[in-house]
Amino acid sequence: MKRTLLAIALLALMGCQGKGELAMVGQSDPEPEPSTDTQDTQNSDTPTTTPEPTTIPEPQEGIQLPVSIEPPEMTGDETVFYLRRISQMLVGRTLTMEEVSQATAEGDEALRPILESWVAEAGFSTSIRYMLEQKLKASGERDGIDFDAPGRLVEHTVSNQLPMSTILKADYCIGTDGQQGDCDSGAPYNAGVLTTRAFLAGNASRFNLGRASRMMKVFACRAYPMEDDLQPRLEKESLIEMFRAQSAEEQTVEEAKDAFGNGDACYTCHGQFSAHAQFYVKFNENGQWIDEATGIQDPEGELGRSLNGLMTSHMLNDVAKADEGSDMFGKRANNLGEAAAIIADSDVFVPCMVRNVIEHTFGMTDSAGEEIDRTLLEAVAYRATNAGTTEPTMGTVVVETFIDPRVVAVVLETQNGGAQ
Amino acid sequence: MSRSIQIFIIMLTAVLTAGCVGEVEMSVGDATETDFPSGSVPGKVGDRTNPDTPETQLPPAFELIQETPQLLPFHVRMAKLSRVTGLAQDDPVFDEIWRNRYALGDHNYGQGIGPDLTWSASKMATWVKSIRPVCTSAEMQQTYPSLPEDLNALTMVAYGREVEEADLMIVEDTLAETGTGEAERYEAVCLSILSSLEFVGR
């Protein structure tokens, strides 16, 4: 036990000194407007301060996180209180009397087995589906577009206890009959929920900023600009002129001259936006993949819109404009499918999903979620991935999250009349 | 209808004013596979099994702040109703609820409707109206033949706990302003439980 305490304390200290904090956007999510102003491209109505370009802190030499822990000591009453607090959002029901009896009799020893039984329930799959439907802004139906498709894939992934990365890596979609089948974008590859028309049409916007923002927000818990060593900026000279400026004086494009509201440089964000938006250059506003997409600006159209319902590329070169390959987290990806796999395999994906689960369970806003101690998220992710050696299921992530002593402590504090 | 909302408000008040008791002492479990550095570490966590252990709190990992009650997501409320009645969610008993789903806070992003989990009197009025068929259904009365006599059985499924004194007082208040007819009393108790904040909110 002492060794766990030491590790947690050390992690807390590391977190205080660490750089590259999660830069997250506000709760409401209007479609982002293309702009050379970094604030306007955050997919948020809540201004966020631009973080210093930072690096992901490396674990200190010799320090390892525990790959397995037990819940903290709790009385029976505390365990019942804790489980009551989380059950409805995790499994869509109150506790059964059997669970109450077990928790009362066994205290903290009941926590893990009860959580493990929950994540096998249908209500758990439904809950995680709901969580990601909210995050992705996808549900229902409109104009023949199946906005339930992302949710079905999520539910399929969770209920079949598939690796959580399936949400981004699946090369199939789930039909209304519950069976695997083709996805609806028409792309010659798939990227889980990202290549559903629901995600693509629901987040379509000029320069593809909305799609890039949503992808980063939901699966990396990042906003632009993010850490340089997570997403290197594309070469300035490779971008169209309006996105190169690093000061108002450098801006030579008339339409972009007023876009320095927050004093930040266009290139600060768009050097990274450009890389991620490029993966969407062949998807039109209805989420259909168009092989002939050029990425060129429609000379008669609104800034950021290409021809035939497609969006303009950030790239300068005509060949590069039409190429749906780009850079994801410093690695070349030939299309959105490969980019999604890089996100799913990255060090930011699992901690971000831990954060999503905590926000969901406690009804937290994005801004409150932003304040979750990153060392907690990383510690849970470390255990859930068995020290980075396995791809966790959503169930594993949830169990490891809710046996964590620091999560338990926050909830039990509310029992004592603290914050609710 | 106004009576049902009144009941709800009474219950809301009761829940919000319920005292929170109990002390919290935290400790963390053992690592089973660890390789930690030695040396002193600022920050300690109390171990109640060893009273001599010095206690210092680690900083909270996050804060839980909820200034106003929130409704549970619509799908959770539906799942709970299904559990209480033992009926599938597509049973005709729930038709009125499905008809009013967006007024009750469900979402449909394809139609530009996000979830609305704010509690409001009008939303609760719609909820009460929508669950009346549930409370008058044969299945409900088969499962809980007599209310308030079977209140404990109902709270065990609806709340996940046995009936408490506060519940009985609320029911008593409800029945005091309800007619003497058995069906009327049954419905009043049923509505008061299934529209309480403990059932629909968090």
Overall average pLDDT of the A229-238 stretch:
96
Tens digit of pLDDT for each residue in A304-313? 999 999 999 9
Which residue in the set A137, A407, A410 is minimally distant from B109, CB to CB? A137
Between B12 and A134, residue with greater pLDDT:
A134
Which residue in the set A13, A66, A410 is minimally distant from B62, CB to CB? A410
Tens digit of pLDDT for each residue in A50-89? 333 333 344 444 456 788 888 899 999 999 999 999 999 9
CB-CB neighbors (< 8 A) of A403 in chain B = 29
Given an 8 Å threshold on Cβ–Cβ distance, is A410 in contact with B47?
no
For residue A224, give the 3-state DSSP assignment. Answer: coil
Residue of A2, A3, A4, A5 for testing the chain B interface, max B β-carbons within 10 Å: A5
ipTM score here? Answer: 0.81
Given an 8 Å threshold on Cβ–Cβ distance, is A409 in contact with B48?
no
What pLDDT was estimated at residue A39? 37
Greatest CA separation found in chain A? 72
CB B162 within 8 A of CB B152: yes
Given an 8 Å threshold on Cβ–Cβ distance, is B41 in contact with A9?
yes
CB-CB neighbors (< 8 A) of B83 in chain A = 93
Q: In the structure encoding, which two tokens stand for residue A132, read together?
A: 């990601």
CB A155 within 8 A of CB A176: no
Given an 8 Å threshold on Cβ–Cβ distance, is B156 in contact with A97?
yes
Mean pLDDT of chain A: 85
User: DSSP per residue over A242-286, as a string?
Assistant: GGT-SSGGG---GGGTT--TTS--HHHHHHHHHHHHGGGTTB-TT
What pLDDT was estimated at residue B65? 81
Tens digit of pLDDT for each residue in A156-208? 999 999 999 999 999 999 999 999 999 999 999 999 999 999 999 999 999 99
Element (H, E) at B194: helix B182-194
Q: Nearest residue of A to residue B68 by CA position?
A: A420
Q: Nearest residue of B to residue A369 by CA position?
A: B62
pLDDT-based confidence at residue B129 (cuts at 50, 70, 90): very high
Given an 8 Å threshold on Cβ–Cβ distance, is B60 in contact with A406?
yes
CB-CB neighbors (< 8 A) of A84 in chain B = 160
